[in-house]
Each structure stands twice: as structure tokens, then as C-alpha cells.
Amino acid sequence: MKERLQFLLIYFCFWVIYFLSARVIFLSYHIEDTKLLTLETVWGIFWNGIRMDFSMSGYLSVLPFLLVTISNFIKKSRLENWIFSYTFVAVFFITLIVVIDLQVFNTWGYRLDATPLYYLKSPKEAWASVSSSPLLQLFISFIILLIIASYIVYRIITRNIDNWNYIDNLPFIPISAFCLIALIIPIRGSLGIAPMNQSTVYFSSNNFANISAVNAPWNFMSSIVNGTYDKVNPYTYLPKETLTDAIKKLYVNSNSTQNILRKDLKKPNVIFIIWESFTKKATEQKINGEEVTPNFNALKKEGIYFSNIYASGDRTDKGLPAILSGYPAQPTKSIITEPNKSAKLPVLSKDFGNNGYTTAFYYGGETDFANIKSYLFEADFQRIVSKQDFDPKDWNSKWGAQDGAVFTRFLSEHEKINQPFFSTLLTLSSHEPFEVPIQTKFVGEDEPSKFMNAMYYADQSLGNFISDAKKQSWWNNTLIVIVADHGHRIPETGKKIDDFKIPMLWLGGALEKTGIEVSNVGSQIDIASSVLRQAGINAYAYNWSKNIFDNKVKPWAFFSFNNGFGYVKQNSIEEKYLIFDNIGQKIIQKKGTITNIEIDEGKALMQRMFQDYLDK
């Protein structure tokens, strides 16, 4: 039994060492970029990247581990042939990916994913793209790596399996099966809630270092599984001329803005508070006469309250780029999970940073989740605070640090931060499983009661934060934007549109006037352009974002969900909306007089927005 278990360990370690060697080759191939890295950063590449190496090694080890588990029932020579044949094929394709990846980074600036598969549909153009590459050098490298790796595999298999004798099935099979099942740990990357993704290995402000930590075969296979190679727009409804005209009409503007900040402020501080799962219906909810969000409701009178705003998507990884990049959410995908695409987005932190602002991002959870970390690094946030920066006593059982602890740390560190600053705080206490460190306010073990209780705590944390923020030296020069990352189905209303309707509140001493309610329809994606214009910063890069303080801008909002979209439109007569099912190709909910004009406008937005995502 010892020999078999030892073989499992050796086999797994072979792949780990192989991928470590591949990373050395990658850094050597791109030596000019590598020279710019410090020794500490190079160490970080290997230290962080090995988690993804473990993950890919786990995937590749599943079949051999299974065969060894049932090895008593397989002829020894056949077992050797099966494991060697499988491993040789795996080595062949993995080595091919590793070698191609070397040049892909030189050509495109990112690690190999499944994008090249699309270009194989046009072989002439594909050959034209690669013909200038050092093909002979890469081919020789491939052959050498293949021979060396295959020889090592052959030695590992023959040296070990040749010496095996029949052993009792008990306790070997249960122990070996346990080793097989245990592969789930390296495959997922941890026992936490966030499975392995590119963000897991991102650790540096140097993008080359982050890219070098990625395991190329893992990245390639992940892109195939997640369909990121797909270049066909499934939402093609309208001809090009109709599409262009519809979009153009929706984005009419005067290129001017109504200033709502004090005129004496040249560079106001800006704080974004992005509230997890916050919906307008929650602010209107009362339980036994008690408001769920009493602090937020009271603060409406102290700022500018936007009562008709809609989230762009239904998840945090869709809400962040919608708010910070003014970029619309995708129905079944999320651009933030694809660093090659999200890196091309404009981001508020970059624009504020380029204008002399200090930038920071605070989140009590794991930024690895849904590739958030890669987006934040690309966004050039100068400081990123996440779960590991907080004392474990402030964590809940699943997600991370509670909102109160995050707000407290934010205030503490902003007492000495350089002004002007642009800072973002993403909350998490109102996320499932709704565990909060206060005595239960709304009794009940059902999900709605727990959600409302968590929302009450989140509101309490916000109220305490605003109360303390008013005492800070920076308050009078600061604009605070409070908005949800996305909505939530609770409390149920039976209307899907209510799950996307979110409140937004602008607060702070930087405001010229307060106690104002804006009822015009708007979207999360409009925040970026609107805030930049108020700060006197160019917003032209935010193509999808409208300035809500431009009197000529049309009031409409668009949101998407899994294979569907919603379109809300407001005119002088009425406010109307439609919810469209992309699979059934029909309207499933609506309000007001819906004509072909509204249907075509919604389809035009869906078609153009998804095509823009595909083209990134």
C-alpha cells in the first residue's frame, strides 16, 4: 500500500514541478519584463502562482488516482500502459499550450485563452498572424520539453508500478479513494467560498507579475469551459442601420451639466459606498411598524435622493464595472471574470488617480471571488483592503469582515489620507447567509426575516459611519455616493423590475443644495459620467454612461439577467417598462403602452451592448 500511495504523491508532484518549470521558462522568455521585477515580486509570482499549479495538477491527476484506486483489478502491464499513454497525451497538449503561450503574450499582451480557436475558422488570416513569430525556436523548445517530460514520466511509472504486488483491498481502496476525493481541495484552490480563478493568483500592482503567476493551461481550459472564445452574438435582432439609429437617439445630450457641488471646490473628495443587495423596496419595508432602513431613510433629507435608479445586472461582479466603469452587465456572462476584456474598460479610480487623487478600495470579503481582484489591480487602486486585513474576530462565518469593522477601519485610515481622495467601500453583511453581530431585530428563521435583519444591521453601520464622518476634517469637501451593487428578489413582489430598482443617495458637505429628490429614470451605468462631470474630469471614455445632470439626456434604464433584459423608459406622459425573455423571444412583463419603438430600443441596447463585450 505504501508504494501505491507514494506513487500518487510523486505523480501529483511531477505536474506541480512541471508547471513551476513552465513559469521559469515564461519569465526567461520575457526576460526584459522580468528584469524590471524585484526579487520579492518574483518570489510572489511563484508563491501565488503555485495555487493555480496545484489546481491544474489536481485536474490532471484525477484519472491516474482513480486507476490506482482500482489497480488490484487491472493487469500491471495494462495499468502501466494506460497511465503512461494518458500522461503522454496530457504532456503533449499541456506542453503545446505552454509553448504557444510564450508567443501569445508577446503578440497580444495576455496569457493564452481559447480566443485563437476563433481565428482557426480563417486559416489564412491565422497563419498571417503567426508567421512572423519565431516558429522554429518555439518548435524546438516544444520538442525538447516534450522529450524531457515524457522521459521523466516514463521513469516515474516504470520505477514504481513494476514493484507493485497484490495487496488487500481493505484498507487500501478506502484510503486511495480518500486521496482521490481530496483532490477537490487543490482543484478549488481552498476550502473557502471562492473557487479557483485568475484573481486568486493576482497579488501585485505590476500587471506582468500578475500575468506571470497565471497557469497557462488552466487559463486556456477555463476559457473553453466558460465559453469565453464565443464570438457570435446570440442577441442579433436588428439590421445595422436600425441599430445605429436607435442607439443614437437614446444618447442625445447637450454636453453640458447642471452643477450640484459647491462652486468653491475644485477637487472634491469622492466616496462610493456600494451596498450589497440593496433595493428600493427594502427602504420602503416596515415590520411591526419598524423601518428596515431607518438611517438611510432619514439621510434622504440631507442629500440628493435618486428614487428611480436601476441596477445594470444581478451580481456584484456585474455591479462593480457598471458603477466604476459605466459598463453595462451581460446576461449570462460577466466581463469582470475575463481579465483580458475587463482590462480594456475605463475605471473611475484611474481617472481620479490621473488627476492627483489618492485612491483606495475597501471590502471585508475575499477579492479573489469572481475575479474582483484582477479588476481592482487593473483599476490602479493605490490601496486595496480586503478580508485578510481584518482581525478574524470581526469575520462572520462565511464571507469576511462585517460592515461595522470595515467602516471603522475606513474612518481610521482616512484621518491621515492625502486629499483629494477617491475611495470605494463595498459592503457584504447583507449577503447570504445574512449573519450579523447584533441582537435579532426581526424575529424569524425564514430567509426574508434574516435578510431584513441583515439589512437593518447594514443600515445601522451606515448610519454610524455617516455620523462619525461628519466630524472628520474632510467632510465639508466630500461627496458620498451610496448605491447598491445590485438588487435582490427579497421582499418578493411578483414583479421582476422591482428586483432591479435600487435607491441612490448623494451626501456630503460638498453638495450645494440638499433635501432634493430626483425622480427621473436612470441607471447604475450613468453614475460614472455624472460624477466625473461634477468633478470637472473628462468622461468621454465612458461611452455607455449618460450624465444625469444634462437637461437634454433622455431618462431611460436598461438591465439584463440570465437570458433576458428589462427596459424602462420615461416621457412627459408616462413611465413604462418591458421585461423581455431572450430564449422565448417574448415580453414576459410590462407596464404602460409598449410599442414596437420600445421593443426595438430594448433589443438595440441588448444587441449593441453584448457585441461591445464580445469585441473587447
Residues 202 and 298 in one domain: no
Residues of the chain under the 50 pLDDT cut: 125, 128
In a domain, 580, yes or no: no
Grid coordinates representing 382 are: 493605490
Residues 79 and 129 in one domain: yes
Backbone angles phi, psi at 287, to 5 degrees: -125, 120
Residues 183 and 263 in one domain: no
From 206, 225, 244, give the residue that closes a domain: 225
Query: How does pLDDT run across 218-240, given as a tens digit for each residue?
Result: 999 988 887 655 678 989 999 98
Tell me how far apart the terminal alpha carbons of the chain are, to the nearest angstrom.
53
pLDDT given at position 554: 96
Listed residue (237, 221, 240) closest to 229, CA to CA? 221
The pairing of beta strand 501-507 with beta strand 478-484: antiparallel
CA distance 401 to 413: 16
Contact assessment for residue 490 and residue 451, using Cβ atoms and an 8 Å cutoff: yes
Residues 74 and 164 in one domain: yes
What would the DSSP string read from start to end of 329-366?
PPSS--GGG-HHHHTTS--HHHHHHHTT-EEEEEESS-
In a domain, 440, yes or no: yes
Listed residue (184, 200, 183, 220) closest to 11, CA to CA? 183
Contact assessment for residue 478 and residue 419, using Cβ atoms and an 8 Å cutoff: no
Which helix (DSSP H) or strand (DSSP E) does residue 522 occupy?
Answer: strand 522-523
In a domain, 614, yes or no: no
Angle CA(263)–CA(264)–CA(267) in degrees, nearest 5? 95
Query: How does pLDDT run across 11-20, given as a tens digit for each residue?
Result: 999 999 999 9
pLDDT given at position 230: 66
Neighbours of 109 (CB within 10 A): 12
What are the percentages of helix, strand and coil residues in the chain, rounded to 5?
50, 15, 35
In a domain, 315, yes or no: yes
From 525, 553, 581, give the residue that closes a domain: 553
pLDDT given at position 192: 72
Residues 366 and 512 in one domain: yes
What would the DSSP string read from start to end of 373-435?
HHHHHHTT-SEEE-GGGS-GGGB-SSS-B-HHHHHHHHHHHHTSPPSSEEEEEE--TTSTT--
Listed residue (37, 50, 369, 382) closest to 201, CA to CA? 50
Residues 192 and 264 in one domain: no
Grid coordinates representing 437 are: 453581530
pLDDT given at position 349: 98
Residues 167 and 301 in one domain: no
Beta bridge partners of 287: 290
pLDDT given at position 223: 83
Specify the pTM: 0.87
Grid coordinates representing 325 are: 466603469
Residue 338, domain CATH: 3.40.720.10
In a domain, 566, yes or no: no
Residues 410 and 498 in one domain: yes
From 553, 583, 605, give the residue that closes a domain: 553
CA distance 99 to 86: 20
Residues 220 and 268 in one domain: no
Domain that holds residue 72: 2-225
Residues 221 and 271 in one domain: no
Query: How does pLDDT run across 545-603, given as a tens digit for each residue?
Result: 999 999 999 999 999 998 799 999 999 889 999 999 987 889 999 999 999 999 999 99
Residues 220 and 262 in one domain: no
How many domains would you assign to the chain? Answer: 2
In a domain, 213, yes or no: yes
Residues 79 and 163 in one domain: yes
